[in-house]
Chains A and B, each alone.
Chain A
Amino acid sequence: MKGERLKVKGILILFFLSIFIFQFSICSAARPDSLRLDSAQQALLDSLERMFTIQEVVVTAEEKIERSSASVINKEAMQHIQPSSFTDILQTLPGGTTKDPNLTNANTIRLREATNGSTSGEYDASSLGTSFVIDGAPVSTDANMQYVQSDVSGADAKRNSVGAGVDMRTISTDDIEKVEIIRGIAGAEYGDVTSGVVKIERTSKPTPWRARFKADGFSKLLFFGKGLGWNNENTVLNFGLDYLNAKADPTNTLENYQRITGSVRLQQKWEVGNLRIRWQSHLDYTGSIDNEKIDPDIHRNREDSYSSEYHKLSWNNTLRLRQADAHWWCFCVQANVSGEMDRIRQTRFVQLTTPKNPAIDNMQEGEATVRLLPYKYVANHEVEGLPLNVFVRPKAEFFFDTWKLEHQVSAGVEWRYTKNFGRGQIYDLSRPLNYSSTLRPRAYYDIPASNQLAWYIQDDISFPIHEHFGLDLNIGLRGTSLLGLGSQYAIDGKCYLDPRANIGLNFPFSKGKFYVAAAIGQHTKMPTLLQLSPNLLYMDMQATDIPIAPTDTTMQIYTHIVNPTNYELQPARNLKWEVRAGFDINKHKLSITYFEEDMRNAFRGLMQVEAFNYTIADNAYDRLLTYSTTSNGSRIYKQGVEWQYQSPRIPAICTRFTLNGAWLRTVYSNSERMYSTEKSPGVVNGINVQDHYIGLYNWTEGYIRESLNSNLVADVYIQRIGLTVSATLETTVYTASKTLEKNGRPEAYISSKDGQLHPYDIAAEQDPILRTLIFDYNSGLFIRRTVPFEGYLNLRVQKSITKYATIALYVNRLLDILPDYQVSGANGSLVTIHRTASPYFGMEINLSI
C-alpha cells in the first residue's frame, strides 16, 4: 500500500516538474525574442505592459489594507482553488489549512479559531455568530430547526446545523465575483454577528457563456452561466445553474449529497433628471438533498433510510439612488425575502432490545394509561420546516467635508423577521424512532416569530493631515432589539448597543505607504427561535409495573411537563479588539495583526435541576428532575497573530510569493457554575443517587486549543501560454491542546427532599452517599499536549488550452513531511508516533464561449 502511494507520488512529482521546466523554458526564451524583434522602446513598453497585466492576476487571498482585518478573495483566486463549495475557500485565510471536501457532513465556519481537535456544540455560538451577507442581504438561519429530535446519534447528527449558523455546503461558488471575509471589527452596518462577516458579491456584468465541470474522488460538479447586457449595459442579466453530486465514499452510492443552485440576476440602471437609479433584483434557488440508505441487497435493516431535503428560494432587491452630477448623498433600500421548504424523512426498522416497553404518548400532566409497544415495527419520522425570513433595510449615505475632514456618514434602519411555518416533528408517538426517548412532537408554526429591529450610524472620516501623514477613522454605533417576545423575556424590547471604532494612521510616500491601525468593537448575536422557545419537556415516570401477561398491553405512567424556556436569556456578545501594522511598497504588501476576542456569554445548554414531589397510588415520592436549558454559560476567548506578506510578481520567473500564517489560541470554557452528574454513581446502597442528590460545581470546564500555521505560496502566471501554477508549502509548526483544570469538589448540593441547595461541608464529605459527589481528576489529565511539525506540498495547475477552454488540476498533500515524534509512555518510557497522509486529487475543465 505504502509503496504504491510513494510510486503514485513519484510519478506526479515528475509530471509536475516536467511541466514546470517546460514552462520556464518558454518563459525565459520569450524574452530575448521580443527584444530582437522590436525597438528598445517598444520592448520597454511591452515588458511594462506584461508586468502590469501579470500583476493583476492574484490567485491567493489578499489582505485588505484598511483599518480592520479582512481577506479578499477574487474570482481568479477562486477559480484557482477549484472549490466544490464555499468551505474550500477558507483555506486561503491566514492560519487556514487545506481540507478535503467533506460534503456528507454539515460544514460550519470557524473564524480565527485553532481548529485542531473538534469542539462540542456548546461552542456553536462561534459559527452561529458569523454572518454570511450575499449581495448585501444577510443569510438567516435563526429559524432552522431541521433535526431529528429523538435521534441524536443517527444519520442526522452529522448533518444538522441547528444553532450553528450557515451550512457552507449550500453555497456554490461559481457565480461569486468576490468574497470579503471580515475577521476583525466589522462596520456598524453589519449586525446580528459576533465572530465575523463573510461578504459575498456575485457577478453582475455581461460575460460569455461559461461552463465548468469538476471531478474529484468524491464529487462531481457541473456549472453553466452567462451574463447578458443590453442598452449600453444599462440592463444586465446574469444567470447560472450549478449541480453538485458528492458521495461519502466513492464505492457507496447510497450515502450522498446533491445540490442544485440556480440564480437569475437582473440589474437595471436609469438616469432620471439629476438622479442615477440602480435596481438589482436577484432570484435564487438552492436545493440540496442528503441521502443515506441501506443496500437493499443486504437482507438486514433494508427499511432504514434517511433523507434531508433543503429548498430555498430567495428574492433580493436593491434600489439605489444617487446624484448624477455631484456626490453628496446616496440612498439605498434593500429588501430580501427568502422561504425554505426543508424536510427530513427517516425510516427505521425498530425491534425492542428488551422484552417490553411502553409507547410514551401522553401529552397531559399527571397519570395516564399508555399502551405497550409491539416487538417490532417500522418507524417513520418526518421533520418539516418552512422558514421565512424577511430583511428590509433603508439606508442613506452622505458625503461632506468639515474643516479638513472628509466625512462619509451612513445611517440605516433594518428589520429582520424570522418565522418557521413548518409542521415540525411529525411522527406517530406509538411508533417512535427511538422508543426510550420521551420527547414529544410540536409544530414549528406555533413558535412565535422573531422580530429584530436595528439601527446604525457610522462615520468614515479621512483626515489628510499632512503630505506624509493621514488619519482614517471609522466610528459607528449600532442598536439591536428583539420586539414582541412578551414581557416575561428579559431580552424583550431591550436595545443592545454595539459601539465600534477603527482608527488608522497612514504614512504615504512616493512608492507606497506604511500604516498602523487599531480597532475595537462590541458585537451582538440574538438567540435563535429554538433557543428562545424550546419545546416543552415531558418527564415520564413509571406508575405501575409493566404487565407480564401477553394479553395485558397497557400500563400507567405519570407525566410531568417542564417548560425549559430561559426567560433570562441574553444575546451572545463578543468584544473584539486588534492592532495592525503593515506596508504596501512597490507592490510588496505586508500586514500583521494581533487580536483578542472575548465572548463571555455564548449560548450553551446548561443542566437545570428541580425537586419534584408526586403521588402515585397514595405513595408520595420525591426526586430531582434534570433538564437542559439554553443559557449564556459558554465563554469563547480567542487570541492570535495573523500575518500576510505578498510579493509583486517577479518578472524573471513570472512568480509571486505569498507567505501567510497565524498563531491562534482559543479557550473554550463555561462561564457559569454548573450542576453535574459526570461521575456520579447510579445506585449506592439501593439509593438512586442522581435522583436525590446532585452537586453544584464552581469549576472551569473546557479546553484550550493552539496552533501555529504558516503557508508559503509560489504562484507562476505566464499569460502568453495561459498557465497558472501554484505550489503551496503548508506547514503547521505545532498544535497544542490542553484540558482546563477542574475542581471536582462541589460547592453545594441540591437534595430532592427540599429542593434546596446545601453547602457541601465536612459532614457531606463523610456521608456515604454524598461523598460520591466529589469527582476526582488526575492532574495528568490537564497536561498540555503538543503535536509537532507537519508539512504538506499542495499543487494547483490551470492551463488554457484554447481561447475557450481551461483545464485545471489540484493535488492536496502531493508531498508530506510528517516526522515521527515521541510522547510519554508507561513508566517513563517513550512511545513513537508515526503519522501518515494520503494525497487528494481533483480536476476540472472550464469552457468560456
Chain B
Amino acid sequence: MSTITDTRSTLTGLTPLPPASGRAGFGGALRSEWTKIRSVKSTVWTLAAAIIISVGISTLGNWGQASHTSLSAADLARRDLVQRSMFGIMLGQLVMVVFGALAITSEYATGMVRTSLTAQPRRLHVYFAKLVIVTVIAFVVGEIISFASFLIGTHFWATKGVDLSLSSHGALQAVIGGGLYLDGAALLAFGVGAALRHTAGTITVGVFLLFVVSIIVNFMPDSWQADIDKYLPANAGGQVWATQHTADVGTAFGAWAGFAVYICYAVIALLAGLLVFKRKDA
C-alpha cells in the first residue's frame, strides 16, 4: 500500500499523478505511436516478411541471372545491374503498402481510433505522429532491404567478372534510393488508408497505383504511352533506385526528378488522408 495519502482520490493504492504541466502534445503522441507499432506482433512480422521476401527474391534473382547468363562481363556492365540486384523491391513494395495501410486502417477496423482520439482529441498530433513513425520505420526497413539485396547481389555478379560495389558509379545513390522508394510506397498507402479508412480498399488502391496502372498503360497506343509512362508512380519512383534512366517508350525522369513525381503521389494521398482524418466523424 502506498504511504502517500492522497486525500482527494478514491482510487486508493494509486500514487497521485504529478501535477499537470504543459500539454498533451506531439512528443507524447510520438511515444504512443511507437508503442502501438512495436506492440502488435503481426506488424513486426509484416516488416520482417517485407525484408525476407524482398531480399530473398533479390538474392534468388541475382543468383539465377548470374549463373545462367551467357553475356560477357562487358555486356553485363552496360546493364543496370544495380537496379536488377534489388529486384525484390518490386514485391517488397506491396508488403510496405500493407504496412502503411494497416498503420492507420487497423485503427478503424478495430475501433481503436475512437479510443485513441478520446485520449488525444487533437487529431493533427495523432496523424503526424503516426506519419513520422511510419516514415522512419519504413525508411529503416527499406534501407535494410536495398542494402542487403545489393550487397548480397554483388557476390553473384562478381562470379561473372562484374565488379559491383557501393562505390560503383551511381550505386550508392541508387541503393539509398531503393529504401526511399519503399518508404514512399508505405507513405502512399498511409495516405490512401487515412482517406478510405478501409484496409482491403487501401491495399487494392496501392496495388493498382503501383502495378496495375503500368500494365493498363502498356496496352495503350505507343504515342499515348510515350506521354504517360514516365509519370506512372512505379516508373517515376523507379528512377531513384536505378543507375540508368532509359525507357521503353518515350523518356524517363532522372533519379531525383522521378522521385519528386513519385513523392507527389504520396503527398496528395497524405493530404487527402489528413483532411478526412481531421474533419470526419471518427
A binds B: no
Chain A positions within 8 Å of B, measured between CB atoms, are none
Chain B positions within 8 Å of A, measured between CB atoms, are none
